[in-house]
A and B are shown apart, each in its own frame.
Chain A
Amino acid sequence: MDENRLDGNSAGGLLGEIFAFEMTTAQVTCASCGTHSRIGQAMVYGHGMGTIVRCARCDNALIRIAHPSGRYWLDLRGVRYLQVEEA
């Protein structure tokens, strides 16, 4: 058991810095296993280098975010689709 694992909810603030919408309810389709889930259902790991959002089913890295010196780096390779609801 990895005790540093957190829920997708915990990335809500960071994702809210980048996206204009509430992102914990956004739906992601995992590029590795095809599972659809809300970001709130995914697993989040914080590291010194940044934050990784992983698929709760297969552990694939869905979203990686680094934020060095005033610039956000987003690696979304692990996501096939990202569906964001208005309002």
Chain B
Amino acid sequence: MAETRTPRRKLVWRIGEVVETRPEAPHAKSIILEVPGWEGHKAGQHVDVRLTAEDGYQAQRSYSIASAPEDGRLALVVERLEDGEVSPYLTDELRVGDKLELRGPIGGWFTWEARDGGPLLLVAGGSGIAPLMAMIRHRAAARSEAPTRLLYSSRSREDTIYVEECDRLAAEDAALEVIHTLTRSQPPGWTGYSRRIDREMLDAVAPSPQERPLAFVCGPTPLVETVATVLVELGHDPARVKTERFGPTGG
């Protein structure tokens, strides 16, 4: 054998320590972790989180990483599901200093690196913002000038995760546009979109297919399927429309 390549490190369960938790919306929290031995990630990747009960019962869920690769800490966004097995523990019980079992980073398909360039079209529904926020943060940290539009659907302004950071980054950067749609309630004087993402909205917001944007769509399955279908109908290359579905419940 002339050359031996080392395969990717085996995916192992690691222990992360919670260093901060922060409410982002009435039902969503950021969990910031330090993970000894973590070897970095790409924007868009996820981790699997595993909880083990005293009787040995285990439950496992996937959470997208919201922090930039340039950030040494790992940020996850957890949306609390009423009947969830994992999310109520993560949002209600987990405290700074607690340990959390996780493995990753996982995924090489739904990822973006600054060198991939743009234009970028990011479409988020609810906590589907997490992997797209990693891309936006990475884009800012890497000083990428890739023209980027984020179309972000939330129930209300209060439910909009990372709203201040999104709007601040957009205000500082002419090549980054953030377009909100608030589907359930709007603040007084709201002039933006106030309906679910549809064909007309995507036609107005998305760069033209001739610009060959790279699209990343993340959110509840129905939203993702609508957006991906419409983008292809509008003439976008299906190979440049990447999707990450959460399933029916959104997290």
Contact = CB atoms under 8 A, between A and B. Distances in A.
| Bound pair (A, B) | yes
A4, A5, A10, A39, most chain B CB atoms within 10 A: A10
A39 B107 CA distance: 10
Interface residues of B, number: 27
Contacts of B8: 20-22, 87
Residues of A in contact with B, size category: 20 to 34
Contacts of B247: 3-6
Contacts of B243: 7
Nearest to A42: B109
Nearest to A3: B248
Interface string A30-58: 00000000111100000000000000000
10 nearest A-B pairs in the assembled complex, by CB-CB distance: A40-B109, A3-B248, A20-B7, A16-B11, A25-B108, A12-B106, A13-B48, A24-B109, A22-B108, A12-B107
23 contacts: A4-B221, A5-B245, A5-B247, A6-B245, A6-B246, A7-B109, A7-B245, A9-B46, A9-B107, A9-B109, A12-B46, A12-B108, A13-B11, A13-B103, A16-B106, A20-B7, A21-B7, A22-B8, A24-B106, A25-B108, A40-B108, A40-B109, A40-B242
